[in-house]
Structure 1
Amino acid sequence: MRILLVNPNTTAAMTEGMMCVARTVAPLGADVVPLTAERGFPYIATRAEAQIAGAIALEMIAAHAGSADAAIIAAFGDPGLPAAREIFDFPVVGMAQAALVSAAMLGDRIAIATFSPALRRWYEDAARNAGLGDRFVGVSAPASHAAPPPAGAPATRQLLAGLCHRAVDELRADVVVLGGAPLAGLAAELQPEVGALLVDPVGAAIAQAVALVSMTPRAGFARRSGRPLPKPTNGLSPSLARLFAQEAAE
């Protein structure tokens, strides 16, 4: 089983942090392939940036689709996820959706804890798209924006611990999702001191991808409705252009 871990941010250290979690969750026989965007943003914080990153994610998946059994869009707001599911013939998992859906199977009141208030609206969209409805109780974030903190720094741990406690005390959450690729691995570290279940989005995405590959016949993807209409392309990456040409031929 070959799973693409597609980071549409340009920060390689962020990808490696997520891979540390992936290696602990992926079963034997599952090969997780890390990919980091070569253009775009060092980290994605708004819906506008996510639109651009989504197109980059499609190019990245297309370039490696021939050898993949599944792909994970490894940015918490899932940029490009609906589009990727239209054009690729294998499961594509969004990190945010996987974490939020998993959280919904663990408890009734779900919150997201993240490092910046700039992410709030985008992450609220993610919860809405995951279908949580009134089970989603909000985003716990600091009052002011800062660049993504180093995942292993004591200050990062202290910040996230406080935000998780706030989600429990003020939002009355019984499951808290740590929102953002820079926070990969902190859920397991903070769990002993937080009075709610913590969900690491990378771990959830790996588990969901493995399950979907195991339960979903590959042949079924080629027969599904809603595939792209045939049309010419101009200026797309060669791998993505070939994919749309294939759709047109079919």
Structure 2
Amino acid sequence: MRLLVLNPNISDSVSALISAEAKRAASPGVLIDVLTAPFGVAYIETRLEATIGAYAATCMAADHHASYDGVIVAAFGDPGLHGIKELLDKPVVGLTEAALTSACLLGQRFSIIAISSRIRAWYAECVAYNGLTSRLASIRGLDQPLSDVGGIQQDHGAALKQLCLQVVEQDGADVVILAGAPLAGLARSLSGTLPVPVVDGVSSAVRHCETLVSLAPGRVTAGSYALPPAKPHTGLPAGLAACLAAGRRPD
């Protein structure tokens, strides 16, 4: 099995974190490749940045999906996820939907720990999109400037752990989700140090994607996730244009 993991931002340091955690989480024999967006922002924090990341992820998926069994959008908030699900004939999984699924299997109410306070409103909207607002205990985030997005775990590890404890003690969380690719792998080091389970989006996405590939649930040929109908277009990258050509998926 081969899985393609897409980092919708331009930070190679974050891609390294994603790659390390994805390979630790993958089952034996599962091959993982990680791609970094060729354009965009250092890390996604706002709706606009998510829009940019969505286009980057879609272009990467169109260009590189052919030799893979499944695709993962490795940014919390799942930029571009549902469009890519329409585009490809294989399982496509996002960090948010995977982490939320894992959290709901582990407890009734979950809290999300984010890398910034600005990101919280958008994350709340993402939870609502997934129909799980009633199970959201809280979203808390760092309130400190981020000098190095790839070094958040080292620079702010103590503060992140304190936020985890706060959502359990003050907000009633049964499960803690560490949100965002820059926090990939942190759940492993915190496991056993918190009084509730802690969930990582990257490892959740890898395992859920493996499961979907193994289930071989069939191709989408109808419904809202079918490939968009053929129509005139201009200015699209070659890979994306090929995927849309004649209203069909390329071989």
- Is TM-score (shorter-chain normalized) higher than 0.5? yes
Q: Hey, what does 1:86 align to over in structure 2? A: 86
Q: Distance in 2 between matches of 1:162 and 1:149?
A: 20
Shift of 1:10: 0.2
Q: Hey, what does 1:24 align to over in structure 2? A: 24
Q: Distance in 2 between matches of 1:237 and 1:23?
A: 30
Identify unmatched segments of 5+ residues in structure 2. none
Structure 2 matches for 1:23-42, cutoff 5 A? 23-42=23-42
Q: Is the 8 A contact 1:186 1:200 kept in 2?
A: yes
Q: Report the aligned-residue RMSD.
A: 1.7
Q: Hey, what does 2:45 align to over in structure 1? A: 45
Shift of 1:28: 1.7
Q: Distance in 2 between matches of 1:111 and 1:2?
A: 32
Q: Hey, what does 1:224 align to over in structure 2? A: 222
Q: Hey, what does 1:108 align to over in structure 2? A: 108
Q: Distance in 1 between matches of 2:117 and 2:222?
A: 39
SS of aligned partner of 2:118:
helix
Q: Hey, what does 1:141 align to over in structure 2? A: 141
Q: Distance in 2 between matches of 1:142 and 1:22?
A: 24
Which digits, 9 at most, give the CA deviation of each residue in 1:135-177, with x for residues without a partner? Answer: 1112011345545361441x32101101101111111101000
TM, length-normalised to structure 1:
0.93
SS of aligned partner of 1:118:
coil
User: Structure 2: which amino acid aligns with 1:99?
Assistant: A
Equivalent residue pairs, number = 247
Shift of 1:29: 2.0
Which digits, 9 at most, give the CA deviation of each residue in 1:16-42, with x for residues without a partner? Answer: 101111111111221111100011001
Q: Hey, what does 2:118 align to over in structure 1? A: 118
SS of aligned partner of 2:172:
coil
Q: Hey, what does 2:178 align to over in structure 1? A: 178
SS of aligned partner of 2:119:
helix
Greater shift, 127-136 or 110-119, is seen at 127-136
Shift of 1:100: 0.7
Q: Is the 8 A contact 1:114 1:163 kept in 2?
A: no
Q: Distance in 1 between matches of 2:73 and 2:116?
A: 20
SS of aligned partner of 1:5:
strand
Identity %: 37
Identify unmatched segments of 5+ residues in structure 1. none
Q: Hey, what does 1:150 align to over in structure 2? A: 151
Structure 2 matches for 1:57-68, cutoff 5 A? 57-68=57-68
Q: 1:79 to 1:63 in 2, by over 3 A?
A: same
Q: 1:203 to 1:190 in 2, by over 3 A?
A: same
SS of aligned partner of 2:28:
coil
Q: Hey, what does 2:200 align to over in structure 1? A: 200
SS of aligned partner of 1:71:
strand
User: Structure 2: which amino acid aligns with 1:82?
Assistant: H
User: Structure 1: which amino acid aligns with 2:163?
Assistant: L
Q: Hey, what does 1:7 align to over in structure 2? A: 7
Q: Distance in 2 between matches of 1:177 and 1:44?
A: 17
Q: Distance in 2 between matches of 1:161 and 1:59?
A: 36
Q: Is the 8 A contact 2:5 2:33 kept in 1?
A: yes
User: Structure 1: which amino acid aligns with 2:151?
Assistant: P
Q: Distance in 2 between matches of 1:145 and 1:229?
A: 45
Q: Distance in 2 between matches of 1:151 and 1:206?
A: 22
Which digits, 9 at most, give the CA deviation of each residue in 1:73-130, with x for residues without a partner? Answer: 0011100111111111111101111001110010011110112101101111221122
